[in-house]
Amino acid sequence: MLKILKNLKKIRKKITYIKNKYECSQQNIRLLAVSKFRSISEIQTAKLYKQREFGENYVQESLLKIKKLQNIKWHFIGQIQSNKAHIIAKNFSWCHTVENEKIAKILDKHCFENKKKLNVLIQVNIRNKYITSQINIKNFKILIKKILILKNLNLRGIMGMPYKHINYNDQIKSYKNIKPYFSIMKDLHSYADTISIGTSHDIKAAILSGSTLLRIGSQIFD
């Protein structure tokens, strides 16, 4: 368990180091601890060391943890199944993986019923080499406008999950469309403030590509 504290300290140091070295110290970067497959006591340990935001991928697994643990902001970062969207709306503060209007509407409806708001990110496709094609940008803009109409969702930004690359240059390449996507969103919605990119393997590339929310699992818990 001491390991988790050490890891958190190391990661926070690393983020500060990168921010200073590459002159992005104004970039507000938060650390999301990805706790899928991790036990309640592992999460409690990270919490002891002032980690307050945790990310979960699986609805069923996360419910047990959410019921047991208080004072945590839970982020849903997994694939959304429409028949479980109501559970996400009810139990999470953030949802990173909104990809279509149908899911957005279900989330909005259940937030309304539970008298709560949900921060949402649109998951942009950075795995497909054709992403800059007009049609995808067009659909992205349409989805932004549709979500902005929904009163119980706070559209906060975008999320990206590239294929895993070991090589730094490939990591940078895989994130090259993140900033263009974000600026399209900012044009339509100036309150957008969140870019959720970066995992244990590509922290530096993610920060230099604009990340404001790093999703780190193994480097915290392993």
- Note the residues at the interface with ligand PLP (CB under 6 A): 34, 36, 57, 77, 161, 199-201, 215-219
User: Cα separation of 78 and 221, whole Å?
Assistant: 18
**97 within 8 A of 77, measured Cβ to Cβ:** yes
CA contacts within 13 A on the Cβ side of 135: 1
Residue with Cβ nearer ligand PLP (34 or 147): 34
User: Cα separation of 179 and 24, whole Å?
Assistant: 15
Residue with Cβ nearer ligand PLP (89 or 217): 217
Q: Determine the residue type at 56.
A: E
Q: How far is the CB of 42 from ligand PLP (least distance, A)?
A: 13
* Of 173, 194, 166, residue with least CA distance to 75: 194
**138 within 8 A of 132, measured Cβ to Cβ:** no
Q: How far is the CB of 36 from ligand PLP (least distance, A)?
A: 6
Residues 6+ apart with CB under 8 A from 92: 56, 62, 74, 75, 76, 118
Residue nearest to ligand PLP (CB): 217
Q: How far is the CB of 161 from ligand PLP (least distance, A)?
A: 5
Residue with Cβ nearer ligand PLP (104 or 214): 214
Residue with Cβ nearer ligand PLP (66 or 77): 77
Q: How far is the CB of 215 from ligand PLP (least distance, A)?
A: 4
**2 within 8 A of 47, measured Cβ to Cβ:** no
Residue with Cβ nearer ligand PLP (114 or 125): 125
**154 within 8 A of 117, measured Cβ to Cβ:** yes
* Of 45, 33, 122, residue with least CA distance to 73: 33
Q: How far is the CB of 123 from ligand PLP (least distance, A)?
A: 9
SS3 42: helix
Residue with Cβ nearer ligand PLP (152 or 219): 219
Q: How far is the CB of 7 from ligand PLP (least distance, A)?
A: 11
